[in-house]
Amino acid sequence: MSARVRGSTDVMATTTDDAGGIDDVVRRAQRGDVEAFESLYRTHAAAIYALCRRMTGDEGESRDLVQDVFVRAWERLTSFRGQSSLGTWLHRLGVNVVLERIRSTKRDAARLIEGDDSTFGSHSSAPAIDASIDLDAALVHLPRGARTVFVLHDIEGYSHDEIALMTGIAAGTARAQLWRARRALMRMLDP
C-alpha cells in the first residue's frame, strides 16, 4: 500500500481541469496569460511547498524550489494535455525539480541515495525525538537519500519502480532505504 494517494494535500485531488480536458484558466495560462497562471499558482503553491519542504527539510530552500517549480511549469505548460489533473502534473514536475536540485548540490550524483548514511544504522547518531514532535521534525534528521525515498514512497505514493526511474537507483536499493528510514523514524518518534 502506498501511504497516501499521490499528492499529499487535498488540493492535489481537486483539479482545475474538468473531466473532459483542460479548463479555461489553464488554457488561458497556456496561451501566455500571466494573470491566469497567477491564479493557478495561488491554488497549487501550498501543495508544492509541502512536497519541497518534506523532500529538503529546509524552509528557505523549499521557498526557492517553489519558485523554480512554477517557473518551470510556466515554461512547460503548453505540454500539459489534461490527461491527469494539473495538480498531479505539477506534483511530478516538482519532484523532478527537487531531485535535480539535490543532484546539482552533490559533488557526486551517486551520493543522492548511497551516500551520507555511514552513521545511519541501528546505532544511529540521529537524536531520539520526543514523541510530541511531529513527523516533519524527525524527517530532517534522516540522511537525504533515505528521506527522499521515504517521502516519495510513504508520503507521496510513488512505487519503488517509479522511484528507481526518477532517481537512477535500483528498486531494491530504494526498498532498503525505505526500510532503514522507517526504522530510524521509529527510533526517533517512539524511542
CB of 31 to another protein, least distance (A): 8
CB 127 within 8 A of CB 119: no
CA 26 from centroid of its chain's CA atoms: 23
Q: Which residue lies nearer to another protein by CB, 126 or 166?
A: 166
Q: Does 24 bind another protein (CB under 8 A)?
A: no
Alpha-carbon distances of 107 from 28, 60, 101, 112, rounded to whole Å = 41, 21, 12, 10
Q: Does 40 bind another protein (CB under 8 A)?
A: no
The dihedral built from the CA positions of residue 51, 54, 59 and 60, taken in this order, carries a sign that is negative
Q: Which of residues 92-121 bind another protein (CB under 8 A)?
A: 92, 95-96, 99-100, 103-104
Residue 117: phi and psi, rounded to 5, are -115, 10
Count of CB atoms situated within 10 Å of the CB of 96: 13
Dist CA 91 CA 55 (whole Å): 12
Write out the three cell numbers for 5: 494517494
Q: Does 33 bind another protein (CB under 8 A)?
A: no
CA 99 from centroid of its chain's CA atoms: 8
Q: Does 178 bind another protein (CB under 8 A)?
A: yes
Q: Which of residues 55-84 bind another protein (CB under 8 A)?
A: 59, 62-63, 66-67, 70-72, 74-76, 78-79, 81, 83
Kindly write out the interface string for residues 138-167 of this chain, putting x where it contacts another protein by CB under 8 A and - elsewhere. ----------------xx------x--xxx
Using CB under 8 A as the criterion, which residues of the chain lie in contact with another protein when the complex forms?
A: 1-4, 8-9, 30-32, 34, 37-38, 41-42, 45-47, 49-50, 53-54, 59, 62-63, 66-67, 70-72, 74-76, 78-79, 81, 83, 92, 95-96, 99-100, 103-104, 134-136, 154-155, 162, 165-168, 178-179, 182, 185-186, 189-190
